Structure 1
Amino acid sequence: MSRKPSRRARLVFWGVLMVLAIPFVFPTWWMVTSSFKPVADILALPPQLFPTTWRFDAYRDVFEVQPFARQYLNSVYIALLVTAGTLVVSSMAGYAFARIRFRGQNLLFLVVLVGLLIPSEVTIVPLFQMFRQLDMINTHWPLILVPILGAPSVLTTFIMRQFFLNLPVELEEAARIDGLGRLAMFLRVALPLARPALGAVAIFTFLHSWNLFLEPVVMLSSPELFTLPQALTQFVDAYGGPMWNLQLAAASMTAIPVLVVFVIAQKQFVEGLAHTGLKG
C-alpha cells in the first residue's frame, strides 16, 4: 500500500515546479506588462515586473496604425476553417489507414509520412507557382487549402490512425451485426469515441494555422488580407524601427485565442497524446 506524500513533500514539489516555470512564464509576463509601459521603460535594465505608469494608448493605437481588427478576423476565420477541414480529412484518412485493408496500404502510409520530412521552405516556390496559375495569389485560399490537403495534415492523420488502431475491433463487429455499413460505423461508433484525439488534432492544427508566417508573407500583399503573424511585423516607425509598445500590445491580443483554445481542449489534448503511438 502506497503512502500518501507528506505536506512538506508536496510543498517542496510545488516549490520546485514554480521555480522551473519562471523561464517559461516570465517572457509572457514581460510581454503583457510591457504593453502598458511607456516606450522608454520597455527595455529598462533590470526589467520591471510592473509598469511604473500604466498606459493604455498602445491598445488604441494598434487599430489606428493599420487595419488590425480586419487582420485579427482574418486569422480567426482562417484558423477555424483550417481546423474544421483538417478534422474531417485527417479523421477519415486515419480511419481508412487503421481499419480498411487494401493492397499497398503500408507503402502508401509510408509515402504520406514522408511529408513530415519535407520543410515548408522547399515547397513554397512550387506552391506559389501553382496558386499563381490558379489566380489565387493575394487571396486566403492558399492559407486554407495547403494546411488541409498538404503536408501539415500528415501529423494529424498519424494521430488519428494511431487512435483508431487502439479502438477495440469488437465494437465495430457488433455494429456490423446490427447492419451498419462502413460509413455508419465511422460516424456512429469510431468518431464519437475519438474525441480525445480530435481535441489534440484541433489544438495542433489551430496553433499551426494561427502562427503561420511564411505562406502569408509569400502569398499576400494587401494589408487588409494580412494575418496576425504578418501584421505584427508592420508596426514600425518612419525609419523602419520597431514600435515596441504597439508590437507588444498586438502580440498580447494575439495570444488570447491560443490560451482559450488550449484551456477548453487541454483534457482532450493530453488524452489524445496518451493514445498516440501505442500501437502501429
Structure 2
Amino acid sequence: MKSDLLTRRVAAATPVRPVPARRRRATTRRRRGLASKVALYGLLLVLSVPFLYPTIWMVFAAFKPVDEIFATPPRLLPTEWTLHGVERIFTVTPFAQQYVNSLYLATVIAIGSIVVGALGGYAFARIRFPGAGKVFLVLMTGMMIPGEVTIIPIFRWVAQLGLMDSHVPLIVVPIFGPGCIVSVFIFRQFFLSLPDELEEAGRLDGLGRFGLFTRIAFPLSGPAVAAVAIMKFLYAFNMYFEPLVFLRSPELFPVGLGLTQYQDNYGEPLYNTQIGATALTVIPVLIVFLFAQRQFVEGLTRSGLKG
C-alpha cells in the first residue's frame, strides 16, 4: 500500500515532457500516408472489378448448364452445379495434346525470338556498318504490312516446300518473319542505353565482338529479354490465324484453334465446355506474366530511353 502511494506521488511530481512538434508532424504524416494507401488500394480494387469479373464469370460458367449461361440478367454463381461441361473438355477433342502443342510452340518461338532479336538488336545498336540507319528503317517498315497481305505468298512457299500440316511454318515465320521486328527494336533500344565504357573494358580484357555480346551485353539485357519473352509467349500461345491456314490434323492444333472444335452432333457449340477449356488456357499466360511483369514493364520503359 505504501509502495503504491509512493509511486503515485513520484509520478505526480515528475514533470510531463511535451511531445516535440517534429515528432507530432511525423506521426501525422505517417497516418495520412497510411490513409492515402488504403484509399488508393480501395480505389484500385474497385477499378479492377470490370477487368476481373469476366474471368471469374468464365470460370464459374464452366460449371453451369448451357441455358444458365445465357440467363438474363446474368448470374455469377450457377444455381445448378454440373461437371458435364468440364468432363467433355478432354473427350470431344484432343485438348491435352493441343495444350502441349501450344506450350511447345510458345516456348520455342519465345526462345528463338529472343536469340534473333538480341543478335539483330546488338548489330544495329553497337556495330557501325555502312547504311545501318537505312537498313533499320527498311526493317521497321515491315511492321506496317498486315499479316493478311503476306499470308498468300507464305502459304505458296510453305506448300512448295511440302511443309503443310506441320509446326515448321508456325515456328519459322514468327521468329524470322515480320513478327521479329518488334523484338529487334526492343533489344536495339536497350543496347543503345548501355554505357560504352562496358565494351571498352571488355576489349581491354581481350574480348572480341561475340564475347562482348555473350559476356557483357546479353547478360545485362534481362528486362528486354523478359519483355520479348512475354510478348512472344502470349502471341504464340494464342495463335489462331496461322494454324488455321497451315494445319489440318486436330492432333497438331494449338489450343487457340482447338477451342473452335467443341461442337455437338448437330454442329452447335458446346458453350460450357468451350468456356471451361478457355479458362484453362489462361493459366500459363498468368503464370508467365506474374513472374516477369516487373521486367516486362522495365523492358518496355527502357526501350524508349535513347535512339
Bin of the TM-score, shorter chain as denominator length: over 0.9
**Aligned-partner residue type, residue 229 of structure 2:** A
Q: CA deviation at 1:25?
A: 1.0
Runs of 4+, deviation exceeding 4 Å: 2-5
Residue number among 262, 268, 272 corresponding to 2:289 in the alignment: 262
SS in structure 2 at match of 1:277? coil
Alignment partners' CA distance in 1, 2:181 and 2:41: 37
Q: Provide the rounded CA distance (Å) in 2 between the counterparts of 1:55 and 1:12.
A: 40
Separation in 1 of the partners of 2:33 and 2:226? 35
User: TM-score, normalized by length of structure 1?
Assistant: 0.96
Residue 244 (1) aligns with residue 271 (2): yes
- Given candidates 139, 143, 161, the residue that maps to 2:166 is 139
Unaligned 5+ residue runs, structure 1? none
The residue identity in structure 2 corresponding to 1:189 is I
Offset of residue 217 of structure 1: 0.5
Aligned residue for 2:88, secondary structure, equals helix
Helix, strand or coil at the partner of 1:233: helix
**For residue 121 of structure 1, what is the aligned residue in structure 2?**
148
- Residue of structure 2 equivalent to 1:191: 218
Q: In the alignment, residue 173 of structure 1 is paired with which amino acid? A: E
**For 2:203 and 2:35, how far apart are their aligned partners in 1?**
56
Shift of 1:15: 2.2
Structure 2 CA distance, aligned partners of 1:58 and 1:72?
18
What SS is found at the alignment partner of 2:175? Answer: helix
Determine if the alignment matches structure 1 residue 149 to structure 2 residue 173: no
Q: Distance in 1 between matches of 2:196 and 2:33?
A: 44
Q: 2:54 aligns with which of 27, 33, 56?
A: 27
How high is the TM-score relative to the length of structure 2? 0.88
Figure out how many residues of one structure are paired with residues of the other and give that number.
Answer: 280
Structure 2 residue 187 is matched with structure 1 residue 160: yes
The residue that corresponds to 1:45 in the other structure is 72
| Residue in 2 that maps onto 1:226 | 253
Q: Amino acid of the residue matched to residue 80 of structure 1? A: T
| Structure-1 separation of matches of 2:248 and 2:274 | 20
For the residues of structure 1 that align with 2:41 and 2:189, how far apart are their CA atoms? 34
Query: Identity of aligned pairs, percent?
Result: 51
Which letter does structure 2 place at the counterpart of 1:52?
Answer: T
- CA offset at residue 34 of structure 1? 0.6
Between the aligned partners of 1:47 and 1:14, the Cα distance in structure 2 is 28
Match of 2:125 in 1: 98
Cα offset for 1:59? Answer: 2.6
SS in 2 for 1:6: helix
Q: Secondary structure at the match of 1:261?
A: helix
Partner of 2:19: none
Distance 2:224 2:83 in 1: 41
CA shift at 1:268, angstroms? 1.2
Counterpart pick for 1:235 among 247, 253, 262 = 262
Partner SS, residue 282 of structure 2: helix
CA shift for structure 1 position 239: 2.7
After TM superposition, the structure 1 stretch with the greater mean CA deviation from structure 2, 21-30 or 136-145, is 21-30
- State the Cα distance separating 1:24 from its structure 2 match: 1.1
Identify the residue that residue 277 of structure 1 maps to in structure 2: 304
- Alignment correspondent of 2:208: 181
Offset, 1:10: 2.3
Specify the code of the residue in structure 2 equivalent to 1:55. Answer: T
Bigger CA radius of gyration:
2
Letter in 1 for 2:216: V
Q: Which segment is superposed worse, 58-67 or 167-176?
A: 58-67
Deviations for 1:91-141, whole angstroms, at most 9, x for unmatched residues?
A: 010000000000000000011111111111111111100000000011111
CA distance in 2, matches of 1:6, 1:267: 24
One-letter code of the match for 1:108?
Answer: V
Residue 265 of structure 1 and its aligned partner are, at CA, apart by 1.2
